[in-house]
Amino acid sequence: MKHRILVVDNEIRLAEVLAASLTHAGYAADASGDARAALALIEKENVDLVITDMRMPEMDGRALLHAIKRTSPDIPVIMITAYTSVRDAVELVKEGAFDYVSKPFETDEILQTIARALRLSDVVQDNKRLRDELGRRYDFQNLIGTSATFRRVIELVTKVCDSRATVLLTGESGTGKELVARAIHFNSARRDKQFVAVNCAAIPEGLLESELFGHTKGAFTGAISNRTGRFKLADGGTIFLDEIGDMPASIQAKILRVLQERSFEPLGSTRTEQVDVRVIAATHKDLRSSAANGGFREDLYYRLNVFPIQLPPLRERREDIAPLAMHFLHKLANETGKRLVNFTPQAIQTMTEYAWPGNIRELMNCVERAVIVARGTTVDVSDLPAYLFDSPKPASEPKLGQSDLDSDLVAFERERIVRALDEANGVQIRAAELLGISERSLWYRLKKLKIDVVKRVSA
Ligand SMILES: Nc1ncnc2c1ncn2[C@@H]1O[C@H](COP(=O)(O)OP(=O)(O)OP(=O)(O)O)[C@@H](O)[C@H]1O
Ligand SMILES: [Mg+2]
């Protein structure tokens, strides 16, 4: 991709002349007549280098330099200065400018400075990206879970990593779709290129197309310059289309084309762009039935469903709850500097029995809360949120036909009462409150169910 250079000078004609010669030299160059407009542009677009005049009314070159260093420290800034203020320019280099050129200058001179600056910043950026990626490559090891269902997921992830096959991740909210998508990318041959995530449900329909495919200057009101879309940014890498079930129909057609031909046209452009991207899509919806009833393009569904991976909800792999909880406990304890080493067996049991409708994200939040609440080095039941006790336990629910309703109700009643007594340390009035019944009614039930109450000395 061409490097993008922004030339800033209050004498806009001078900026335009320089921009024109930079364009001629093969760069994508824009001219801006004042520092504030330049900053706004830098914030919105990918600018690789800025050349600015030093002396400008209102916000001068130095103020612009400082602002850029604050918000985008990696963008090299070259100062243009009058011969008489070279001394100031030297100061500015100390303050973070890449270099300066003094007026009048030859185009060749500035081209050399630009080339040097861009070479350096490319190296810096590549290093940074490699480092980031290296850090995240361990994501694969961070996929916690040893249950048979989860091992099957890991197996599929391992298999699909090294192909370019489109992957469709399905599963309830919080089951780890995004984490798995990253694991696939960072364990594939594409790991040194970008992983670009797009949440299709979070971007307004009117902006999604330009976000994905880019636009040309003037393609619509507000399109003040060309913009590179996410597909292009992911060239050579992976694009993660999250919540694809919420993709508007108009864009579904364009995605289908990218999947078929790896090509698209940016908004307002007639030029077809080619990209080499791996597509990973995710949804918590049932795309198959959406496709069957017309809510989602059927042809797109089949293109996406080449390699489906279904992430099981946590309640269907309860063996993973304890190791996940431990993983989060250690991670959070590390982050907060708290010394928390374990859960009590009761705490583990309570977490294992809970249904976790919000899956792993909910479990993580629960542990996070416990880490804040816990006073000792061990997280106990009392450190867990109360709603964990309120949900029925699907795991212990007998299947229909295997028991009768009356004995199920008795078992349920007994289990609730024992739990409330336990929570209340055997204090009956407190247990009755927890159960939402009168003390008398509790007493009656205790006799009926022959439950012995042992009062505990509170810890
Ligand atoms: N197997 C796992 N091991 C460790 N952490 C996990 C695992 N799966 C998910 N997580 C963590 O749980 C949280 C939720 O995961 P993620 O964001 O990937 O879920 P999601 O399926 O994309 O959810 P949503 O549909 O709500 O976007 C993240 O913080 C993630 O790091
Ligand atoms: Mg997600």
Residues with CB under 6 A from ligand 1: 142-145, 171, 173-179, 284, 324, 327, 360-361, 364
- Tokens 């200057």 -> residue: 217
N-terminal to C-terminal alpha carbon distance within the chain: 67
Separation CA 136–CA 249 (nearest Å): 34
Mean pLDDT score, 197-205: 91
Q: How far is the CA of 364 from the centre of ligand 1 (A)?
A: 9
Residues 6 or more apart in contact with residue 364 via CB below 8 angstroms: 324, 328
| Probe target for ligand 1 pocket from 156, 179, 241, 311, with the most ligand atoms within 8 Å of CB | 179
**pLDDT score recorded for residue 458:** 42
Give the Cα-Cα-Cα angle 361, 237, 5 (nearest 5 degrees): 110
Q: Which ligand is nearest to the CA of 283?
A: 1
* Residue range 154-192, pLDDT digits in tens: 889 988 988 899 999 999 999 999 999 999 998 888 988
What number does the ligand 1 atom closest to the CA of 180 have?
18
Of 167, 173, 164, 233, the closest CA to residue 201 belongs to 173
**pLDDT score recorded for residue 24:** 95
* Residue range 299-358, pLDDT digits in tens: 999 999 999 999 999 999 999 999 999 999 999 988 888 888 899 999 999 999 999 999
**pLDDT score recorded for residue 459:** 36
Q: Is the pLDDT of residue 130 over 80?
A: no
Mean pLDDT score, 361-371: 94
Q: In the structure encoding, which two tokens stand for residue 49, read together?
A: 């280098």
**pLDDT score recorded for residue 230:** 95
Q: In the structure encoding, which two tokens stand for residue 274, read together?
A: 């080619």
Domains observed in the chain: 4-130 (3.40.50.2300), 141-312 (3.40.50.300), 315-394 (1.10.8.60), 398-449 (1.10.10.60)
Of 180, 357, 375, the closest CA to residue 280 belongs to 180
* Residue range 36-64, pLDDT digits in tens: 999 999 998 889 999 999 999 989 999 99
Percent of the chain with pLDDT over 70: 93
Q: How far is the CA of 315 from the centre of ligand 1 (A)?
A: 15
**pLDDT score recorded for residue 378:** 92
* Exposure string over 378-390, b if 16+ CB within 10 A, otherwise e: ebbbebbeeebbe
* Residue range 251-267, pLDDT digits in tens: 999 999 999 999 999 99
* Residue range 140-153, pLDDT digits in tens: 667 898 888 998 99
**pLDDT score recorded for residue 290:** 92
- The dihedrals phi and psi of 81, each to the nearest 5 degrees, come to -135, 155
Q: What is the mean pLDDT of the chain?
A: 88
Residues 6 or more apart in contact with residue 199 via CB below 8 angstroms: 242, 243
Q: Which ligand is nearest to the CA of 241?
A: 2
Q: Is the pLDDT of residue 400 over 80?
A: no
pTM of the model: 0.61
